[in-house]
């Protein structure tokens, strides 16, 4: 796709009022064998925040930041936004794009790392939505970007500011959504997370750090990636300081504001541990500029495909067999906290 007509920001979506919580969760859980009581338990996490997930507001802010950046840099590319599970729904956005005369678009998914839920399912959703909308634009997903200098800079800036407020000698943990080990076995998820965490740590001058996981769901007997962030907090000594950097999340999700800011924070208070949470990349200028750079490299092969680390830039087309479903989780990454996600 040499000359796309638009950029589409594709995200998970979230409710924006208490009356939307259960319909939203019905969308998330469609086709999954999740007990009703578990769905209601997850709903309480949203209702704790008035039924409003932070993700939609953050995506609106990202879209506006991208439009402003394109205007300032002379990029004539309209920016659209669609969601997998709540309004604006992806198919509705494709209808609007088609009606606006868009014939082809690049797609930025708000997930930086490769897994079934974070990459392959989005690709499948794009194909299904395009097939359901007559005359839908051709869609081309941008590559994974957890090792891009812009992402690393945005996360590192937030971590530095948090470290400055943490006091002496805090432990540093990078957090990401856990997934079943069977799913991780077919995906680059763990490797990419460790690479990104190492790059951010190096940028902040951090010699020692740990990768932890959060938001586990699924049957207790099913192995998921560990260690769990709350379990690690409960193993600390009273008086310890911890800074958690949610590197696995591009913007604040319910998992960030509930699983970290509420649940993990409560565990830290009970343990006598001081816990601070670093911000997500959000609308950091380096992250916004990175997205524009990903667009530019797809429109012009002479634009360098920048990445840090030793693996090189992720390919535009994922390898065959990458991120196979494996053991399907309960509610997928994006919307539930322990023990019911």
Average pLDDT, the chain: 93
pLDDT tens column, 56-85 = 999 999 999 999 999 999 999 999 999 999
Helical segments of the chain, H only: 18-29, 36-47, 55-73, 90-99, 121-132, 149-164, 181-184, 189-203, 229-234, 254, 265-271, 285-299
pLDDT confidence band for 1 (50 / 70 / 90): low
* Residue 136 predicted with pLDDT over 60: yes
Strand partners, 175: 212
pLDDT tens column, 264-313 = 999 999 999 999 999 999 999 999 999 999 999 999 999 999 999 899 99
Could you tell me which of 127, 101, 112, 270 has the C-alpha nearest to residue 176? 112
Under 8 Å between Cβ of 215 and 142: no
* Residue 92 predicted with pLDDT over 90: yes
pLDDT tens column, 203-241 = 999 999 999 999 998 788 899 999 999 999 999 999 999
The pLDDT value given to residue 219: 80
DSSP string, 14-29: --BSHHHHHHHHHHHH
d(CA 108, CA 114): 14
Q: In order of start, what are the domains of the chain with their CATH numbers?
A: 6-145+283-299 (3.40.50.1400), 149-277 (3.40.50.1400)
């Amino acid at each position: 796709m040499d000359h796309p007509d638009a950029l589409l920001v594709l995200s998970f979506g979230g409710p924006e009022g208490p009356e939307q919580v259960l319909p939203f969760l019905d969308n998330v859980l469609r086709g999954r064998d999740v007990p009703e009581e578990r769905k209601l338990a997850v709903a309480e996490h949203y209702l704790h925040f008035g039924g409003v997930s932070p993700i939609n507001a953050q995506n609106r802010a990202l879209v506006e930041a991208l439009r402003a950046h394109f205007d300032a840099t002379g990029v004539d590319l309209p920016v659209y936004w669609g969601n997998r599970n709540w309004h604006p729904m992806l198919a509705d956005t494709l209808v609007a794009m088609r009606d606006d005369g868009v014939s082809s678009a690049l797609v930025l998914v708000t997930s930086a790392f490769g897994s079934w839920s974070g990459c392959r399912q989005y690709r499948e959703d794009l194909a299904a939505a395009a097939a359901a909308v007559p005359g839908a634009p051709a869609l081309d997903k941008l590559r994974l970007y957890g090792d891009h200098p812009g992402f690393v800079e945005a996360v590192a800036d937030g971590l530095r500011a948090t470290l400055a407020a943490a006091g002496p000698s805090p432990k540093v943990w990078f957090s990401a959504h856990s997934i079943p080990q069977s799913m991780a076995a077919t995906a680059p998820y763990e490797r990419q997370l460790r690479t990104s965490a190492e790059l951010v740590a190096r940028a902040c001058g951090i010699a020692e750090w740990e990768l932890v996981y959060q938001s586990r769901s699924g049957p207790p007997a099913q192995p998921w990636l560990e260690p769990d962030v709350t379990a690690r907090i409960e193993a600390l000594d009273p008086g310890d300081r911890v800074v958690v950097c949610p590197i696995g999340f591009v913007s604040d999700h319910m998992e960030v504001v509930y699983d970290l800011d509420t649940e993990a924070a409560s565990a830290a208070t009970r343990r006598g541990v001081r816990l601070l949470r670093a911000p997500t990349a959000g609308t950091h200028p380096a992250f916004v500029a990175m997205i524009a750079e990903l667009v530019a490299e797809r429109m012009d092969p002479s634009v360098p495909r920048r990445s840090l680390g030793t693996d090189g830039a992720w390919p535009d087309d994922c390898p065959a067999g990458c991120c196979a479903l494996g053991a399907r989780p309960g509610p997928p990454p994006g919307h539930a906290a322990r023990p019911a996600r």
